[in-house]
Amino acid sequence: MVLTSLKRTLLITNNPLVHEKYADKQETEFVDDGFQGVLKAVRDHVHEGYRLLTHPLSGSVKPNENPYKTVLLARSFANTDADSVMLVEQCIITAEKFEKKVIHDKHLHDLQVVDLSLISEVLERNRAT
Contact residues for other proteins (CB under 8 A)?
3, 52-63, 65-66, 87, 90-91, 93-94, 97-99, 101-104, 106-107, 110-111, 113-114, 117-122, 125-126
Tell me how far, at minimum, the Cβ of 89 lies from other proteins, in Å: 11
Q: Supply the angle between the helices 35-47 and 82-96 in degrees, to the nearest 10.
A: 160
Tell me how far, at minimum, the Cβ of 103 lies from other proteins, in Å: 7
If you ran DSSP here, which 8-state letter would residue 106 be given?
Answer: H
- Residue 58 has, within 13 A of its CA and on its CB side, a CA count of 22
Nearer to other proteins, 29 or 89 (CB): 89
Pairing of strands 28-30, 9-13: parallel
Tell me how far, at minimum, the Cβ of 23 lies from other proteins, in Å: 20
What Rg value do the Cα atoms of the chain yield, rounded? 14
Nearer to other proteins, 41 or 56 (CB): 56
Nearer to other proteins, 19 or 69 (CB): 69
Q: Return the sign of the alpha-carbon dihedral for residues 85, 44, 61, 124.
A: positive
